[in-house]
Structure 1
Amino acid sequence: MPPVSRVVIVGGGPGGYEAALVAAQLGAEVTLVDSDGLGGSAVLTDCVPSKTLIATAELMTEVEGAAELGVEVSHDARAAVRVDLARVNARVLRLARDQSDDIADRLEHEGVRLLRGRGRLDGPDRVVVTGEHEESLPADAVLLATGAAPRTTPQAQPDGERILTWEQVYGLTELPEHLVVVGSGVTGAEFASAYLALGAEVSLVSSRERVLPGEDADAAAVLEDALTRRGMHVLAQSRMASVARAGDTVTVTLTDGRTIEGSHCILAVGSVPRTPDLGLETAGVETDERGFVSVDRVSRTSARGVYAAGDCTGVLMLASVAAMQGRIAMWHFLGDAVSPLDLKKVSSNVFTAPEIATVGWSQQAVDRGEIEANQLMLPLAGNARAKMQGVHEGFVKLFCRPGTGIVVGGVVVAPRASELIHPVSIAVAQSMTADQLAQAFTVYPSMSGSVAEAARRLHQF
Structure 2
Amino acid sequence: MSHSYDYDLFVIGAGSGGVRAARLTALGGKKVAVAEEYRVGGTCVIRGCVPKKFMVMASEVSHALEIAEGYGWSFDNARFDWPTFLQAKDVEIARLSGIYTANLGKAGVDLIHGRAVLKDAHTVEIVGKNQTVTAERILIATGGRPWKPEALPGIEHAITSEEAFHLPELPKRILIAGGGYIAVEFAGIFAGLGVDTTLIYRGPNVLRGFDDDVRAHLAGEIEKRGIKVILGCQHASIEKTDRGLVNHLENGMRIETDVVMFATGRVPHVVDLGLESAGVELNEAGAIKVDAFSRTSADNIWAIGDVTDRMNLTPVAIREAVAFHQTVFRDNPQHFDYEAVATAVFSQPPVGVVGLTEAEARHSCAAGVDVYVTRFRPMKYAFTGSDERVLMKLVVDADTQRVVGVHIVGPDGPEMIQLAAIAVKAGLTKAQWDATCAVHPTMAEELVTLKDKQTASSGAV
Residue from 31, 55, 72 that aligns with 2:33 = 31
Write the deviation string for residues 126-170 of structure 1: whole angstroms up to 9, x where unpaired: 322223x543332222110111211122326666xx732111123
Aligned mates of 1:333, 1:109 — CA distance in 2 = 22
Aligned mates of 2:394, 2:120 — CA distance in 1 = 48
Q: Aligned AA for 2:433?
A: L
Aligned mates of 1:313, 1:241 — CA distance in 2 = 32
Check conservation: 2:268, 2:286, Cα contact below 8 A.
Answer: yes
Matched, 1:180 2:188: no
Matched, 1:356 2:358: no
**In structure 2, what is the equivalent of residue 261 of structure 1?**
256
**In structure 2, what is the equivalent of residue 295 of structure 1?**
290
Distance 1:338 1:245, change over 3 A: farther
Shift of 1:91: 1.8
Write the deviation string for residues 354-407 of structure 1: whole angstroms up to 9, x where unpaired: 1011111122312445764322123343x6677589894212212232333222
Check conservation: 1:163, 1:245, Cα contact below 8 A.
Answer: no
Aligned mates of 1:329, 1:443 — CA distance in 2 = 40
Check conservation: 1:394, 1:412, Cα contact below 8 A.
Answer: yes
- Percent identity, aligned pairs only, is 28
Check conservation: 1:308, 1:326, Cα contact below 8 A.
Answer: no
Matched, 1:416 2:418: no
Q: Aligned AA for 1:245?
A: K
Q: Aligned AA for 1:285?
A: V
Q: Aligned AA for 2:399?
A: G
441-450 or 175-184: bigger deviation: 441-450
Aligned mates of 2:70, 2:112 — CA distance in 1 = 55
Matched, 1:111 2:108: yes
Matched, 1:126 2:142: no
Q: Secondary structure at the match of 2:89?
A: helix
Check conservation: 1:20, 1:107, Cα contact below 8 A.
Answer: yes
Aligned mates of 1:336, 1:398 — CA distance in 2 = 40
**In structure 2, what is the equivalent of residue 251 of structure 1?**
246
Aligned mates of 2:387, 2:22 — CA distance in 1 = 43
Q: Secondary structure at the match of 2:176?
A: strand
Matched, 1:86 2:107: no
Aligned mates of 1:204, 1:357 — CA distance in 2 = 21
Check conservation: 1:184, 1:212, Cα contact below 8 A.
Answer: yes
Check conservation: 1:93, 1:170, Cα contact below 8 A.
Answer: no
Aligned mates of 1:167, 1:335 — CA distance in 2 = 37
Q: Secondary structure at the match of 1:137?
A: strand
Distance 1:250 1:437, change over 3 A: same
Distance 1:281 1:435, change over 3 A: same
Shift of 1:227: 2.0
Aligned mates of 1:146, 1:105 — CA distance in 2 = 20
**In structure 1, what is the equivalent of residue 151 of structure 2?**
154
Distance 1:17 1:410, change over 3 A: same
Shift of 1:40: 1.0
Q: Secondary structure at the match of 1:184?
A: coil
**In structure 1, what is the equivalent of residue 210 of structure 2?**
215
Check conservation: 1:185, 1:214, Cα contact below 8 A.
Answer: no
Distance 1:290 1:258, change over 3 A: same
Write the deviation string for residues 19-73 of structure 1: whole angstroms up to 9, x where unpaired: 1122234332221111111111211111111111111012222112223333333
Aligned mates of 1:441, 1:27 — CA distance in 2 = 49
**In structure 2, what is the equivalent of residue 67 of structure 1?**
69
Q: Aligned AA for 2:151?
A: P
Matched, 1:327 2:322: yes
Q: Aligned AA for 2:113?
A: R
Shift of 1:226: 1.8
Check conservation: 1:380, 1:450, Cα contact below 8 A.
Answer: no
Q: Secondary structure at the match of 2:270?
A: coil
Distance 1:157 1:313, change over 3 A: farther
Aligned mates of 1:196, 1:282 — CA distance in 2 = 47
Distance 1:395 1:258, change over 3 A: closer
**In structure 2, what is the equivalent of residue 445 of structure 1?**
441
**In structure 2, what is the equivalent of residue 77 of structure 1?**
none
Shift of 1:247: 3.4
Write the deviation string for residues 265-321 of structure 1: whole angstroms up to 9, x where unpaired: 111111222112212112221112342111222211111121111121112222122
Residue from 288, 308, 311 that aligns with 2:306 = 311
Aligned mates of 2:318, 2:105 — CA distance in 1 = 18
Aligned mates of 1:154, 1:343 — CA distance in 2 = 35
Aligned mates of 2:16, 2:348 — CA distance in 1 = 26
Check conservation: 1:385, 1:446, Cα contact below 8 A.
Answer: no
Write the deviation string for residues 398-430 of structure 1: whole angstroms up to 9, x where unpaired: 223233322222111111211110221101222
Q: TM-score, normalised by structure 2?
A: 0.90
Check conservation: 2:326, 2:334, Cα contact below 8 A.
Answer: no
Write the deviation string for residues 82-108 of structure 1: whole angstroms up to 9, x where unpaired: 211111122222221111111111111
Shift of 1:248: 4.2
Aligned mates of 2:444, 2:205 — CA distance in 1 = 28
Matched, 1:235 2:237: no
Aligned mates of 1:19, 1:61 — CA distance in 2 = 41
Q: Secondary structure at the match of 1:421?
A: helix
**In structure 2, what is the equivalent of residue 50 of structure 1?**
52
Q: Aligned AA for 2:180?
A: G
Matched, 1:97 2:100: no
